[in-house]
Chain A
Amino acid sequence: MELAVKFVHEQLAAKTELPKFKAGDNVTVNYKIVEGGKERIQSFRGDVLKLQGTGQTATFTVRKISDGVGVERLFPFFSPNIESVQLNKVGKVRRAKLYFLRERSGKRARIKEKRIR
């Protein structure tokens, strides 16, 4: 089954490369939305909460605080609607899934930045 799935996606997938990022990183996702028949690009900046899945159906979740309300958005890695992803900050975290951020707010919800020498 895995071979067949891989074959199918190899035939269909045509994809621009996204930068490598992981949970805890701060990214800006620029994605296309159709508004009133016109296409435009909207950006969503936040912390990556998790990477999920394998292969062509993998997704990642980005969380941000918008007007004091936590907003999470899930993006498929290979979605043709993703125009680009910018890696803003590399976070220093000790887990792969940062669900604990959901219960935190304000200063406690900060992620330390990893210094790259």
Chain B
Amino acid sequence: MKGIIGKKIGMTSIFAPDGKQIACTIIEAGPCVVTQVKTEEVDGYTALQLAFGDKTEKHSTKSEINHYAKAQTAPKRFVKEFRNYSLTKALGETISVDIFSEGDTVEVIGTTKGKGFQGVVKRHGFSGVGQQSHGQHDRSRAPGSIGNSSDASRVFKGMRMAGRMGNDRVMLKGLKVLKVFPDKNYILVSGSVPGHNNSIVLIQK
């Protein structure tokens, strides 16, 4: 597996050679610095720790500064680990967006936009209860019955109800890499990716 940390820039659309308009997302991915190499012997598993985005020393703790100093880099804002990285990289090396090429199928991980406390119609796709007329009122988005009578005498676990929606970590699979711009660290993937603009996403293959 190989991957990179990026920032979602926003969406636009481009034209395919056959004239079809394709919706795509621009992601500013990398350059990421390898800040730790985890090995089977020492850590029990192999992984690369990548860091992305600078932050000032003022906003870093001493332990952070020294951890990044081992890789000879400034303190970073975002750190993520990628297990079983397919490229061999040493401590302090950078990974840029050119690990992906046009036509690759990638997975994008992000945190979806938070929707707040939502009812069952929006959160679980319920169709609401009953009609708007025939004496009903105030019930068109209600969940309806949530269980049986005396035979269960309780509500089953996992019953879908209203609650907090969004702000979930989501992986989207099967996104196509439409274009890579190594000078600007931009990567264009087909379709949408989770989260708001400027949110952190992981791209992996």
* A8 adjacent to B15 (CB under 8 Å): no
Given A4-B186, A8-B179, A12-B179, residue A57 in contact with residue B13 (CB < 8 A): yes
- How far does the alpha carbon of A7 sit from the alpha carbon of B21 in the complex, in Å? 18
**Complex contacts, B106 vs chain A, CB 8 Å:** none
- How far does the alpha carbon of A82 sit from the alpha carbon of B126 in the complex, in Å? 43
- How far does the alpha carbon of A9 sit from the alpha carbon of B188 in the complex, in Å? 11
- How far does the alpha carbon of A57 sit from the alpha carbon of B181 in the complex, in Å? 20
**Complex contacts, B108 vs chain A, CB 8 Å:** none
* A32 adjacent to B19 (CB under 8 Å): yes
* A57 adjacent to B186 (CB under 8 Å): no
Interface residue tally for chain B (C-beta within 8 Å): 17
- How far does the alpha carbon of A78 sit from the alpha carbon of B22 in the complex, in Å? 13
Main secondary structure of the interface of A (DSSP, over half): helix
A52 within 8 A of B: no
List the A residue with the shortest CB-CB distance to B178: A12
- How far does the alpha carbon of A32 sit from the alpha carbon of B18 in the complex, in Å? 10
Given A78-B15, A79-B15, A80-B19, residue A7 in contact with residue B186 (CB < 8 A): yes
**Complex contacts, A1 vs chain B, CB 8 Å:** 9-10, 26, 197
Q: Which residues A44-95 have CB closer than 8 A to chain B?
A: 56-57, 76, 78-81
* B197 adjacent to A8 (CB under 8 Å): no
**Complex contacts, B186 vs chain A, CB 8 Å:** 4, 7-8
**Complex contacts, A4 vs chain B, CB 8 Å:** 9-10, 26, 28, 184, 186
Q: Which residues B138-197 have CB closer than 8 A to chain A?
A: 179, 181, 184, 186, 188, 197
* A8 adjacent to B26 (CB under 8 Å): yes
A5 within 8 A of B: yes
- How far does the alpha carbon of A48 sit from the alpha carbon of B28 in the complex, in Å? 38
* A8 adjacent to B21 (CB under 8 Å): no
List the B residue with the shortest CB-CB distance to A14: B15
List the B residue with the shortest CB-CB distance to A32: B19
**Complex contacts, B15 vs chain A, CB 8 Å:** 12, 76, 78-80
- How far does the alpha carbon of A44 sit from the alpha carbon of B89 in the complex, in Å? 57
- How far does the alpha carbon of A71 sit from the alpha carbon of B12 in the complex, in Å? 28
Q: Mark B5-42, 1 if CB is under 8 A from A, else 0.
A: 00001101111010101000010100000000000000
**Complex contacts, B17 vs chain A, CB 8 Å:** 80
B89, chain A: closest CB distance, angstroms: 27
Instruction: Provide 16 A-B residue pairs closer than 8 Å at the C-beta atoms, listed in order of the A residue.
Output: A1-B9, A1-B10, A4-B26, A4-B184, A4-B186, A7-B186, A8-B186, A11-B179, A12-B15, A56-B12, A56-B14, A57-B12, A76-B15, A78-B15, A79-B15, A79-B21
Q: Name 19 extra pairs, CB < 8 A, besides A4-B28, A5-B9, A56-B14.
A: A1-B197, A4-B10, A4-B26, A4-B184, A5-B12, A7-B181, A7-B184, A7-B186, A8-B14, A8-B181, A8-B188, A11-B181, A12-B179, A78-B15, A79-B15, A79-B21, A80-B17, A80-B19, A81-B19
Chain A residues with a Cβ under 8 A of chain B: 1, 4-5, 7-9, 11-12, 32, 56-57, 76, 78-81
